[in-house]
Amino acid sequence: MDNTSLRTTVTIRKKTSKERTIILGDFNERVGNDNLAWKGALGRHGLGNCNDNGRLLLEFCAEMQVTITKTQFQQKNHYKTFWMHPRSRHWHLIDYISVHQHDLGNVLHTRVMPSADYYTDN
Phi, psi of 3 (to 5 degrees): -60, -40
Residue 117 in domain: no
Q: Would 112 be classed as within a structural domain? A: no
**Structural domain total, the chain:** 1
Whole-number pLDDT of residue 28: 73
115 is a domain residue: no
69 inside domain: yes
Sign of CA dihedral 119, 77, 33, 21: positive
Is 113 domain-assigned?
no
**With contact defined as beta carbons under 8 Å apart, do 31 and 58 qualify?**
yes
Claim: this prediction has a pTM higher than 0.85: no
The answer to the question of residue 55 being in a domain is: yes
pLDDT given for residue 24 in this prediction: 82
Q: Residue 26: what are its φ and ψ, rounded to 5°?
A: -95, 70
Q: Which residues contact 50 (CB under 8 A, 6 or more apart)?
A: 30, 31, 32, 34, 58
Beta carbons of 112 and 80 less than 8 angstroms apart = yes
User: Which pLDDT belongs to residue 5?
Assistant: 66
- pLDDT at 61 (0 to 100): 92
- Could you tell me if residue 78 is inside a domain? yes
Could you tell me if residue 48 is inside a domain? Answer: yes
Residue 49's domain spans which residues?
A: 3-106
How does pLDDT run across 21-53, given as a tens digit for each residue?
888 877 778 888 999 999 999 999 888 889 898
